[in-house]
Structure 1
Amino acid sequence: MPGMIGKKVGMTSLFDANGKNLPCTVIEVGPCVVTQIKTTETDGYEAVQIAYGDKSEKNVAKAQIAHFKKAGITPKQHVIEIDSIDGEVKLGDELAADMFAEGEFVDVAGNSKGKGFQGVVKRHNFGGVGQSTHGQHNRLRAPGSIGAGSDPSRVFKGMKMAGRMGGKRTMVENLQVLKVDKDKNLLVVKGSIPGAKNSIVIITK
């Protein structure tokens, strides 16, 4: 499962061969640096640790500074582990957008935008309780009944009600790569991805 850390730049649109307008998201992919190669002999499993984004050394713990110096790089802000990478990699290698090819499909994971505490109409697409006629004055966005009375004398778990919305780890799967800019390390994928502009995302094949 090769993957990269990236940053959401924003959205745009491209035209396909038939003149159809396709909504797209631009992602700045890396460059990421290999900070550790884990093996079955030393760690009990195989994985590749990669890092992205520079970080001031004064804000990094001494143990982490030593970890990055072992790879011969400056401290990084975001570190993840992935199962594997296409081809052989060594400690300190730099990974760029050329890992991806136009036409292939990727999965993008990130933190969705937080919406705060929301009602049932926005959170669960409820229609409200009827119209504003026949004496109803405050029922337009109300949730309605939430269960029976004496029996079972409780509200079942999982009932769709008002509450915190968004701000969760979200993955969008099977997004087609429409364009790869190797010079600027940009990836243009079809559709939308989680998070706001400049948020960190993880792209996996």
Structure 2
Amino acid sequence: MKNIDLTARLLGFGASICLLASHHSALAETPVPAVQVVKPGPEHKKMGIFAGTWTYEGETFATPLGPKEKFKGKLVSRFILDGFALETKWEEKNPLGLAQGIEIHTYDLASKSHRTYMFMNDGSQMIGTDTFGDKGIGFSYRLTDGKGRLMLARATATFTVDHKQFTSKWELSADEGSSWMPFMEYTGKKAGK
């Protein structure tokens, strides 16, 4: 009886090995699809207009966010994540002290839109879209300030033909876009690659 149990077990084990071997052989013969390497497209490359080191200066207007004041600063933008995103870090001096921020610019293939995510050292953040045109860029954001107030922001950046200088004008809306007020204006100059 013990010999029959041992023989049955060995036959069962042998059959399992044969099944596994034939399954593995079938898998080995099934062609594996090649992995497609996705590369950034022309819409990603449009963000490169910001790439490099820039200096800028301008002024804010009196708004619910604060008083009228002058500022100047520097920003550095570079492609990250194999060219699928542009990271911008900026720092500026104003009468209240040092302001800093980080921005991530991306292209969303599903919505076919350029997206921007900004975070500042006063707790503010802006999330929205960028629209690239022949002479510049339009921006449309939802801004939450460090006190939790929600506003809309829109802006334009107009570049010189050589893309080494720009002028930017911003507006704010505290009533979901029913009315707009001037927020800030500034000019920027490219300092390096």
Superposition TM-score tier, normalisation by shorter sequence: under 0.3
Task: Report the structure, 1 or 2, having the larger helix content.
Answer: 2
Q: Higher relative contact order by CA 8 Å / sep ≥ 6: 1 or 2?
A: 1
So what's the TM-score if we normalise by structure 1?
0.26
So what's the TM-score if we normalise by structure 2?
0.27
